[in-house]
Amino acid sequence: MDNTNWQDAGAVDGLPEDDVACVEIQGREIALYTVGTAVFATDNICTHGHARLCDGFLEGHEIECPLHQGRFDVRDGKALCAPLTENVRSYPVRIEAGRVLVRMDSLDSINS
């Protein structure tokens, strides 16, 4: 049985080019990143200083937090440098018929 939970996060045309935007899905703030034609999604709140990553600066596949310049890889949420000590949660994304779909399963089922 397919228990995956794909949620519509809006039109892909609505996203800024090579930048970051924030959407709310099921009560959770999600940052969406466009890198060329690819779209990635992570939690929007930094794991370090509780800042919003959508206020940060996207360079290639790296998002720099506006508060303390910690950087995450937007593809997998990996923390890349100090002061970060914890990865940010990332979500699978798929584009279908011009819509951005984000898979919002529980963390366990995403990782399995």
Partner 1 sequence: MHERPTVFPDKAEWTAGGTSRIPFLAYTDDVLYRQELERFFYKNHWCYVGLEAEIPNPGDFKRTVVGERSVIMVRDTHGEIHVVENVCAHRGVSFCRERHGNRKEFVCPYHQWSYALNGDLQGVPFRRGVKQDGKVLGGMPADFNVREHGLTRLNVAQRGGVVFASFDPCMESFEDFLGPTILSYFDRQFDGRKLTLLGYNRQRVPGNWKLMQENIKDPYHPGLLHTWFVTFGLWRADNKSELKMDAHHRHAAMISTRGNERKQSEVSQVGSFKSSMQLEDPRFLDIVPEPWWGGPTAVMTTIFPSVILQQQVNSVSTRHIQPAGHGCFDFVWTHFGYEDDSEEMTQRRLRQANLFGPAGFVSADDGEVIELSQRGFEQKPFHRTVVELGGRDIADTDHMVTETLIRGMYDYWRTVMEA
Q: Tell me the sheet residues that pair with 8.
A: 101
Using CB under 8 A as the binding rule, whether residue 14 contacts partner 1 is answered as no
Residue 60 binds to partner 1 (criterion: CB under 8 A):
no
Q: Is 66 in the site for partner 1 (CB under 8 A)?
A: yes
Nearer to partner 1, 47 or 101 (CB): 47
* Contact residues for 102 (Cβ-Cβ < 8 A; gap 6+): 6, 7, 9, 25, 30, 32, 41, 91, 92, 93
Scanning 3-11, 64-72, 88-96, 100-108 for contacts with partner 1 by CB under 8 A, the matching segment is 64-72
92: contact with partner 1 by CB under 8 A = no
Query: Could you give the CA distance from residue 51 to residue 27 in angstroms, rounded to a whole number?
Result: 17
Instruction: Specify the DSSP element, H or E, that contains 100.
Output: strand 99-103
Q: Which is nearer to partner 1, 48 or 101 (CB)?
A: 48
Task: Name the residues that contact partner 1, by CB under 8 A.
Answer: 49, 51, 55, 57, 64-70, 82-83, 85
